[in-house]
Amino acid sequence: MARKNVEDLVSEARTGSTDARDELVRCYFREIAAIAGASVNDATEAEDLAQEAFIRAFRNLDLLVDPSRFGAWLRRIVVGVSIDWLRTFRPSLYHGLSDDDDIAAVSREPSPLDLTLRAEIVERVRGAINRLPPRYRVPIRLYHLDGLSHARIAEALDVPVGTVRSLVARARMKLVALLPEYAADARQIDDVFEEQTVMSRDRARFLHVGNGTCTTTIIEAAGIPGGQSIWADPLYEGPVPAGLNDAELLEVRRQYLAGPNALTWAAWSGPDYNRDPANDMHEWRAVIERHESYDELILWFEHDLFDQLALIQLLAWIRAHLPSNKPVALICIGSFPGRPDFKGLGELTPDELASLFETRQRIGRNHYELAEHAWLAFRAPTPEALDALRQGDTSALPFLAPALDRFFQEYPWTRDGLSRTERRLLELADGDGIALWKAFPRMHDGEQVYYVTDASLAALAETLSCAVPPLLTFDLSTVEEVAY
């Protein structure tokens, strides 16, 4: 039987599999015991502490967002377990040797215990920052952990530079109250900030790929470091045939987007729309393919049909075109605190978007495999494969199945041959007609997986007006483009 990877083992352990838990213990026990032993300098206690670390980990597996990070997460747990033991049973060792101790005078290299304590301080400072109110948390993170200047933060938050300096200073004072164990020597906190600021100067290079320029503009405004690009083909419209390679599919999409609908899209979207869509799509790919220019690729998407289809295409493409060891992470949400009618990332403020950065989830084999399967099923000539997929296990991409449910509602209904979107537009246009710009927001009434764009609506109105007989009249001669 093939050996399972850590992601599979964690998933099975979450369901209560003792075999999976035993295998995780076999994989990591020696390493975890060694860390505990280096921390407490007691081999016998180290084994007990390692066991305690595993117990805590298995008890809290649901808190682990990325199963591939189980090892790193477990190491942080055993550090905490070791620190707790030292504080209780070896307080003199925990507080360290005195300045006039001969050993301390001779040794200049940090001991394993020093490194363990240092790691704990960093983790606790970061945890305390996360407990600060957003007004203080955002500027202190941007300044100390992301390495942005006061001026750059002021620009991103649209406040005076003096306000940023004040918020950062007050945030540091509030941290002391949240870290009472270090309050007597606040220099420890200052050391962490100095260390993190130095590290940020050589921080990882990011490439952010969003679902459109609205999202990438907010990423830039939030001061999140890295370059930006997009991946935003409206795949729910027009042909996406199976059996074609990526270059051939790009040509099919180019012909569709530059075809009969192009005039309506251009009229609705303005003069900047008149460009070759394939050139944009080629550039989207070229930016990602230059993987030497970034250390981590971060994908910013949301729960709707537009994004979920783009996401499965993008993940399938990434797996075929990037090195397997290139880190790829995903930020994908379907709601946001304080926004009960959340529609997408584009409605968030820079501060709100910045708060999502640390929630990114590492993309692993299960994500890629589901995306590849879904991408093939979506392009199949008949819907059976896609229907079967949405009813199966799509937990790796939790918003995919609801999005596919919405996609199936665009198939012609047996009652009248109309899709859900067509029927909704005809309902709004019934009677005295309605301006498209007024119809657009009302198209989303009752929608949980919103996806209709303004350009899509204009194209749909023109299509319905060309039916025989016409189902509505699309009056382009009026300023408001009224549908009747």
* Per-residue pLDDT tens digits for 120-163: 666 677 777 778 887 788 788 777 666 677 777 776 677 788 88
The structural domains of the chain, with segments of one domain joined by +, span 1-95, 206-408, 420-483
This prediction's pTM: 0.56
| DSSP 8-state secondary structure symbol assigned to residue 412 | P
Q: How does the average pLDDT of the chain come out, rounded?
A: 78
Rounded distance between C-alpha atoms, residue 221 and residue 119, angstroms: 32
Query: What is the rounded average pLDDT of the residues 235-258?
Result: 91
List residues bridging with 207 in a β-sheet: 227, 297
Comparing 52-66, 80-94, 189-203, 251-265, which segment has the lowest mean pLDDT? Answer: 189-203
Rounded distance between C-alpha atoms, residue 155 and residue 147, angstroms: 15
Token pair, residue 137, equals: 């948390």
pLDDT at 95: 44
Rounded distance between C-alpha atoms, residue 193 and residue 310, angstroms: 39
pLDDT at 159: 79
481 pLDDT above the threshold of 70: no
pLDDT at 482: 55
pLDDT at 201: 40
pLDDT at 388: 96
79 pLDDT above the threshold of 80: no
Comparing 262-266, 298-302, 381-385, which segment has the lowest mean pLDDT? Answer: 262-266
pLDDT at 275: 47
Rounded distance between C-alpha atoms, residue 24 and residue 10, angstroms: 8
pLDDT at 252: 93
List residues bridging with 483 in a β-sheet: 434, 474
Q: Which residues contact 234 (CB under 8 A, 6 or more apart)?
A: 306, 453, 456
Q: Are the C-beta atoms of 129 and 168 separated by less than 8 Å?
A: no
pLDDT at 313: 98
pLDDT tens digits for 396-452? 999 999 999 989 988 888 888 888 888 888 888 887 788 887 888 888 787 777 667
Q: Are the C-beta atoms of 436 and 482 separated by less than 8 Å?
A: yes
Q: Are the C-beta atoms of 81 and 53 separated by less than 8 Å?
A: yes
372-408 b/e with 16+ CB inside 10 Å = b? bbbbebbbeeeeebbeebbeeebebbebbbbbbebbe
pLDDT tens digits for 177-220? 777 655 444 455 555 555 444 344 444 589 999 988 889 888 88
pLDDT tens digits for 343-393? 889 888 887 888 888 788 999 999 999 999 999 999 999 999 999 999 999
Domain topology for 1-95: Rna Polymerase Sigma Factor; Chain: A (1.10.1740)
Q: Which range is most confident: 170-179, 302-311, 406-415? A: 302-311
Handedness of CA 386, 392, 394, 399 (dihedral sign): positive
Rounded distance between C-alpha atoms, residue 405 and residue 388, angstroms: 11
Q: Roughly how many angstroms between the first and final C-alpha of the chain, as a whole number?
A: 65
Question: Cβ–Cβ contacts within 10 Å for residue 163, how many?
Answer: 14
Of all residues in the chain, the percent with pLDDT exceeding 70 is: 77
List residues bridging with 361 in a β-sheet: 330
Q: What angle do CA 464, 467, 468 make, to 5 degrees?
A: 150
CATH no., domain 206-408? 3.40.1360.10
